[in-house]
């Protein structure tokens, strides 16, 4: 089934219209509203974001498909921006991978990425990663394709092979993943702009660059990556890191000084919050209903 305005269609259209497409990581529905306000055309839900922000857990595959799908539903309920979702390793065997795709698609996601790590996965910028064989990952991708209820739902294959096997092996894997049905490729942890250039030239599919902070990849600009042939640029947890640092500063200042007075200028105002939420329109609707005796 393909709907003219399905989330997958919108993600593909955004990637065609903006080159490279900047994809904003959001940890919840309110962050999605902020990213839309800033002008982003596509959003991303990180597995680490769900684990860290919603459950206080590390990014070690400890959250479930059900938990991630619930976050997807909350985000897509407040914005029509297409949402790419971190599907980790798919939460199981081929049957489960297909179920994962169907579940996230029905929840409103525009696409997901699956990685070629073993089930006991690690953060892509940590040492000690272990990979499944190329054949097993191709089977994982084929299962994902079978699970689509919308044939425009984006299947993105993430390869962590660069850190384990080197650039040539990572590119070879990516080519196989495209052959197996992947629509796009997530090249994780590359070490330079030139390596992104090589990757984009080697793979006949749009390539995503992960501009996560404090990792193995240098923070390259959109212009640099675009000129290298990269089609999507991801900022998975940038806002979350800044929000967390600001929140810790607030808590520490409150404990130390006994007042938030010194912090007020850096806070979002109540009226700014109301504007983003459309608070006054909700209030008018409630007042109108009350006046009618509903």
Q: Is 158 a catalytic residue?
A: yes
Task: Calculate the alpha carbon distances from 281 to 31, 191, 203, 286, 287 in Å.
Answer: 20, 48, 48, 9, 10
Cα-Cα-Cα-Cα torsion 71, 72, 75, 76, nearest 10 degrees, comes to -160
Distance, CA of 157 to CA of 138 (rounded, Å): 9
User: Both tokens of residue 160?
Assistant: 């962590």
pLDDT confidence tier of residue 129, bands split at 50, 70 and 90: confident
Q: Is 59 a catalytic residue?
A: yes
Q: Is 281 a catalytic residue?
A: no
Catalytic residue among 71, 123, 162, 173: 123
First-to-last alpha carbon distance for the chain, in angstroms, is 39
Q: Coil, helix or strand for 284?
A: helix
Tell me the backbone φ, ψ of residue 11, rounded to 5 degrees.
-65, -45
Residue 169 near residue 198 (C-beta atoms within 8 A)? no
pLDDT confidence tier of residue 287, bands split at 50, 70 and 90: confident
Q: What does pLDDT average to over the chain?
A: 94
* Lowest mean per-residue pLDDT among 113-127, 212-226, 264-278: 113-127
CATH code that applies to domain 7-243: 3.20.20.60
Q: Is 165 a catalytic residue?
A: no
Residue entry with tokens 């590390």: 58
Q: What is the pLDDT of residue 118?
A: 85
For range 83-109, the mean pLDDT: 97
Asked whether residue 256 carries a pLDDT value surpassing 70, the answer given is yes
Q: What is the pLDDT of residue 1?
A: 41
Could you report the per-residue pLDDT of 52-83, keeping only the tens digit for each?
999 999 998 899 999 999 999 999 999 999 99
Break the chain into its structural domains and give their ranges: 7-243, 263-293
Cite the annotated binding site by residue number. Answer: 46-48, 86, 88, 123-124, 158, 188, 210-212, 241, 270
Q: Is 271 a catalytic residue?
A: no
Q: What is the pLDDT of residue 272?
A: 97
Q: What is the pLDDT of residue 126?
A: 66
| Nearest alpha-carbon partner for 250 in 242, 49, 48 | 242
pLDDT confidence tier of residue 18, bands split at 50, 70 and 90: very high
Asked whether residue 124 carries a pLDDT value surpassing 70, the answer given is no
Asked whether residue 49 carries a pLDDT value surpassing 80, the answer given is yes
Residue 48 near residue 236 (C-beta atoms within 8 A)? yes
Q: What is the pLDDT of residue 288?
A: 81
Task: Calculate the alpha carbon distances from 3 to 103, 145, 153, 181 in Å.
Answer: 17, 17, 10, 20
């Amino acid at each position: 089934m393909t709907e003219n305005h399905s989330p997958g269609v919108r993600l593909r259209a955004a990637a065609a219209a903006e080159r490279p497409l900047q994809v904003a990581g959001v940890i919840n529905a309110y962050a999605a509203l902020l990213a839309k306000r800033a002008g982003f055309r596509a959003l991303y839900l990180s597995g680490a974001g769900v684990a860290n922000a919603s459950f206080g857990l590390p990014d070690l595959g400890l959250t479930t498909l059900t938990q991630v799908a619930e976050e997807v539903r909350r985000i897509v309920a407040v914005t029509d921006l297409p949402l790419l979702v971190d599907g980790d390793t798919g939460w199981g065997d081929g049957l489960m991978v297909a179920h994962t795709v169907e579940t996230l698609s029905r929840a409103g996601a525009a696409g997901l990425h699956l990685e070629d790590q073993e089930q006991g996965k690690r953060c892509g910028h940590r040492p000690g990663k272990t990979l499944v064989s190329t054949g097993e990952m191709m089977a994982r991708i084929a299962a994902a394709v079978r699970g689509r209820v919308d044939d425009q739902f984006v299947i993105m294959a993430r390869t962590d092979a660069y850190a384990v096997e080197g650039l040539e092996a990572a590119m070879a894997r990516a080519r196989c993943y495209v052959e197996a049905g992947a629509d796009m490729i997530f090249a994780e942890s590359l070490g330079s702009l030139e390596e992104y250039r090589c990757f984009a030239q080697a793979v006949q599919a749009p390539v995503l660059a992960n501009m996560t902070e404090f990792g193995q990849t240098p923070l390259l600009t959109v212009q640099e990556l675009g000129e290298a042939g990269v089609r999507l640029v991801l900022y998975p947890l940038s806002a979350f890191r800044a929000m967390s640092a600001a929140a810790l500063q607030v808590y520490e200042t409150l404990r130390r000084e006994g007042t938030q007075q010194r912090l007020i200028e850096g806070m979002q105002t109540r009226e700014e919050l109301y504007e983003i939420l459309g608070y006054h329109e909700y209030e008018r609707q409630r007042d109108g209903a009350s006046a009618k005796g509903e």
